[in-house]
Amino acid sequence: MRVFRTNILSKNVMRAADAICFTSNGVIKKNGSLVMGAGVAKAFRDRFDGIDAEAGKCVKTFGNICQRVAFHIWRDDDGTPQKVALIAFPTKHHWRNPSDIKLIEKSVDELIALADDNNWNSIYIPAPGVSHGGLDWKTEVRPLLEKKLDDRFIITFYQKG
């Protein structure tokens, strides 16, 4: 596992990543969209039109699990097509509640399986559960992640730019 301070939605990360994760919860709104109203989830919702609706469909169908919600496809500056998987990484059961370390551990295990199944070598994850989730990075989250994640996984802390 590697740790960087970066903007997970930057052009450099998008170019380098096979997959990027957004932290999520299991609450679906009446319109079928996943609640993505704060933090990294909101940043993804604002950047990728309709991802909240796609995430809502995934949670409704498969439950609050770590899963690929969509692919983002674009052309790089030189015209080369690029593709990155957008992954829901559950840290909460309900958006109002604190993050659940057991759910994060389950999401980590599911993400490892996704990475293995898809031969991904570069997976970016926002530090799960530590901002709006209320967990402590040093004592709760980092030790769990260090036990499980290899160098394919890059944990990011937000940096503007």
* DSSP class per residue in 136-156: -IIIIIHHHHHHH--TTEEEE
How many domains is the chain built from? Answer: 1
Which tens digits make up the pLDDT trace of 54-95? Answer: 999 999 999 999 999 999 988 888 888 889 999 999 999 999
Of 38, 102, 4, nearest in space to 110 by CA: 102
Q: With a cut of 90, say whether residue 155 has pLDDT above it.
A: yes
The residue range of the domain holding 97 is 2-157
Please provide the average confidence, as pLDDT, over all residues in the chain: 94
Could you tell me which residues are beta bridge partners of residue 155? 3, 125
Q: With a cut of 70, say whether residue 20 has pLDDT above it.
A: yes
Whichever domain contains 104, its CATH number is 3.40.220.10
**pLDDT at site 161:** 46
Q: Which residues contact 80 (CB under 8 A, 6 or more apart)?
A: none
**pLDDT at site 79:** 85
**pLDDT at site 111:** 98
pLDDT band at 112 (very low <50, low <70, confident <90, very high): very high
Which tens digits make up the pLDDT trace of 113-148? Answer: 999 999 999 999 999 999 889 999 999 999 999 999
**pLDDT at site 76:** 82
Give the integer Cα–Cα distance in Å for 5 and 161. Answer: 11
